[in-house]
Amino acid sequence: MKYIYIKTWGCQMNEYDSSLMASLLQKKNQYLITLNPEQADILILNTCSIREKAQEKVFHQLGRWRKIKNKNSEVIIAVGGCVATQEGEEIYKRANYVDIIFGTQTLHRLPEMISEVEKKRKLSIDISFPKLEKFDHSLEIKKTGYTAAISIMEGCNKYCSFCVVPYTRGNEISRPCDDILFEISVLAEKGVREINLLGQNVNAYQGPTFNGKICFFSELIRLVSEIDGIDRIRFTTSNPLEFTDDIIEVYKDTPKLVSFLHLPVQSGSNRILHLMKRSYTIEDYQSIVEKLIIARPNIQISSDFIVGFPGETETDFQQTMTFIKNINFDMSFSFIYSNRPGTPSSEMEDNLDLKEKKKRLYILQNRINLQTMLWSRKMFQSIQSILVEGVSNKNVMELYGRTENNRIVTFHGSPKIIGQFVDLRIKKVHTHTLKGELF
């Protein structure tokens, strides 16, 4: 009996990919999952290249794994994901103890690649882009709870000046609508109650249907909402450029779609948005939010921000701060700009020192945290519908679930209600977490 250990960095798409790898290796090679790398016969690193120095992070991890391989030369080390797609054989040149290098679109070939290495004991590499081939195996993923993430498309065509995704995941390609609906139906039969639709640019989805037509994202959401057993729908991540009116209309007539939206803006300065090649303005973004509020008055918005982009002035930063206040964002993922080799922004002059970037990030995050707390306080004494996901990690005497607006709520209740939706009255409020009691 052999064991596999998978270490995953990055976004929910990477988490989805790692789940697919684990299921395939368990089914096809009869491997077992271990949480201890020292026990593993196969070590798999699923990488992310979105942040600066991603490559060095990979080689630091591989250096730690080399010590394991030195003790047992039969151990197989595999590197996949975005860094593997970018670097390819260069990884082997720096770490010649790596056995397998696979890409974001070839992870389904991992069982065969491992078998090949076991027989020939030489490098196996495949970082090609066979489009949607990996999704032929998506039903292998085992249900692990009452929520599930489903990848509905891959890649991105936007080529923002700071982003590596188009180079590591390829151009946008949508899965067939019927494949997605069938996969979700199977998960619903297994007890999944909440679905999160995934894509690098999920609202650009245009999937073919069985009758040769195209299913747009708004239609897909409505179709998912009709599947028995699915009572809550989320999606991640959207681009304002393609957040069209037909998607906004879904918020009017599809109550299963949560009243919470993550819509990355990146900056509140039109000048910086232009340098980022985001192809929309803050006025465009504001218009989307205004329409959403009309369609769903209680909706809350979270976003992404890049601080210290090349050329960002104090005026640009203050415009971002004003924009954050005006939109009243609930939460955000915010980072200091990372220079990614090969992207257009890497050729731009970086005019800010790290100290100033950190200062601006601190100011921005403090403002967002204040707004998050104010949004949370509005929930005090309110009744919230919660999908009970399990026993709390911090207190085995409590259960936990998640609100529509992504707050974790803990409360006392019988384990018999795990997997069900219940109503809770919110009795205590923290910035990101809540305490409730059954209503």
CATH (residue range 2-126): 3.40.50.12160
Cα dist. 131→134, 155, 378 in Å? 8, 10, 45
Is 82 one of the annotated binding-site residues? yes
- pLDDT given for residue 164 in this prediction: 85
Distance in Å from the first CA to the final CA of the chain: 49
* Pairwise CA distance, residues 422 & 273, whole Å: 42
Query: Are 256 and 231 a contacting pair, CB within 8 Å?
Result: yes
- For tokens 């609930």, name the residue: 330
Extract the tokens encoding 310: 């090349």
Collect all residues with Cβ–Cβ distance below 8 Å to 297 and sequence separation of at least 6: none
Question: How high is the pLDDT of residue 338?
Answer: 85
CB-CB contact of 111 with 24 (8 Å)? yes
Q: Tell me if domain 143-258 and domain 261-378 are identical in fold.
A: yes
Q: Check whether 177 is labelled as a binding-site residue.
A: no
Return d(Cα 347, Cα 272) in angstroms, integer.
15
Confidence at residue 323, expressed as pLDDT on a 0 to 100 scale = 98
pLDDT at 209: 94
CA–CA dist 106, 340 (Å, integer): 23
CATH architecture of the domain 261-378 equals 2-Layer Sandwich (3.30)
Strand residue runs (E) in 94-212: 100-102, 124-126, 147-151, 153-154, 173-174, 194-198, 206-208
Coil, strand or helix at 15: helix
For residue 404, give every residue at least 6 positions away whose Cβ sits within 8 Å of its Cβ, in sequence order, or none: 232, 258, 259, 260, 384, 385
The fold adopted by the segment(s) 380-438 is: OB fold (Dihydrolipoamide Acetyltransferase, E2P) (2.40.50)
CA distance 409 to 398: 10
Q: Is there a binding annotation on residue 163?
A: yes
Give, as one character, the DSSP assignment of residue 257.
B
- Tell me the CATH number for domain 143-258: 3.30.750.210
Across the chain, which has 439 residues, the per-10-residue mean pLDDT values are 92 87 88 95 91 81 96 95 90 94 91 92 90 73 82 92 87 93 94 95 95 96 97 96 97 97 98 97 98 97 97 97 97 91 88 94 97 96 96 93 95 95 96 93
What pLDDT score was predicted for residue 341? Answer: 77
Predicted pLDDT at 133: 79
Residue 141 confidence (pLDDT): 66
Tell me if 44 sits within 8 A of 76, measured CB to CB: no
pLDDT at 147: 94
Domain ranges of the chain: 2-126, 143-258, 261-378, 380-438
Please tell me whether the peptide bond between 237 and the residue prior to it is cis, using omega within 30 degrees of 0: yes
Q: Which of 40, 136, 50 is nearest to 86 (CA)?
A: 50
